[in-house]
Amino acid sequence: MASQLYLTTSAITCASASLSVLSGLAIIWSYRQFPQLQNFTRYLLVCLTVADIFTAYVTITSVALGYGALGEDDYSGSGPWCWINSDVNNRLMWKVVAGKGWEILTYIITLVIYILLKFFKWRENRRRHRFLRWSDADPNLRDADDIFEISWLFLLVARIWGTLRFILETADVHPGETIADILLYIQCFGDSSQAFWNFVFFFTLDPELREHIYHRKYCLRRRDASAVRINE
């Protein structure tokens, strides 16, 4: 049973990570290929995507590795975590310092930034007596990029499952084998899927980007057809 759980979680994690890498490369490709869509928001998205591809806590987990703290956890399997050995002392401290503490802090900081952003937009809307569009803040910004302000929600939805399992373990709460396995499977996919969700919302759902890609594809087809006629 344990070996089956290991194979399943490994397969889910591998699939999710592969999707994220491919999705991240597609986002970077679109940024390089279409300069007319480049702006500060898209630049931030590329930086976030690169970070997602190489997700790791390097100045921190390397210290935990040096102290021999990393290893397999006994709480319903570790899933994709490079987690803390069940035999190490101060396990809770290591789990907070080597990952989960920083992740929870990220939730809080991004939520505060989002609330402040909404407050400033609301205040500016009242001052101007009209709805402030994303492009009004800077002529280089596109209204289609306004979804970037809720990108923190993608992180939260994707990674909250591992944080929930961390809280349950810390509180010594065991929800039952079925629920524990479901949470583990969702975490296996979610922890490695951030770049994939960025791809869905910032690539496939961007009408202007889709139009540019279609135009590029159409031009390539016409060029190939012309080359065939010349060769004939």
Chain segment 86-119, per-residue pLDDT in tens: 666 777 777 777 677 877 887 888 788 778 877 8
With tokens 């703290």, the residue in question is 69
Q: Shortest CA distance to 71 belongs to which of 86, 90, 93?
A: 86
Chain segment 13-26, per-residue pLDDT in tens: 778 888 888 888 89
Chain segment 8-55, per-residue pLDDT in tens: 777 887 788 888 888 888 988 888 888 888 888 888 888 888 877 766
Residue 84 sits at φ, ψ, to 5 deg, of -100, 135
> Residue 71 has what pLDDT?
55
Residue 37 sits at φ, ψ, to 5 deg, of -100, 0
Q: What is this structure's pTM? A: 0.68
Chain segment 165-196, per-residue pLDDT in tens: 888 878 888 888 888 888 888 888 888 888 88
With tokens 């709460």, the residue in question is 173
Greater model confidence, 129 or 190: 190
Residue 126, classified by CB atoms within 10 Å of its CB into exposed (0-12), middle (13-18) or buried (19+), is exposed
The C-alpha atoms of residue 39 and residue 198 are separated, in whole angstroms, by: 16
The C-alpha atoms of residue 222 and residue 51 are separated, in whole angstroms, by: 37
The C-alpha atoms of residue 170 and residue 99 are separated, in whole angstroms, by: 14
The C-alpha atoms of residue 99 and residue 80 are separated, in whole angstroms, by: 13
**CA diameter of the chain:** 76
Q: Which residues of 66-92 are buried (b: 16+ CB within 10 A; e: fewer)?
A: eeebbeebebbbbbbbebbbeebeebe
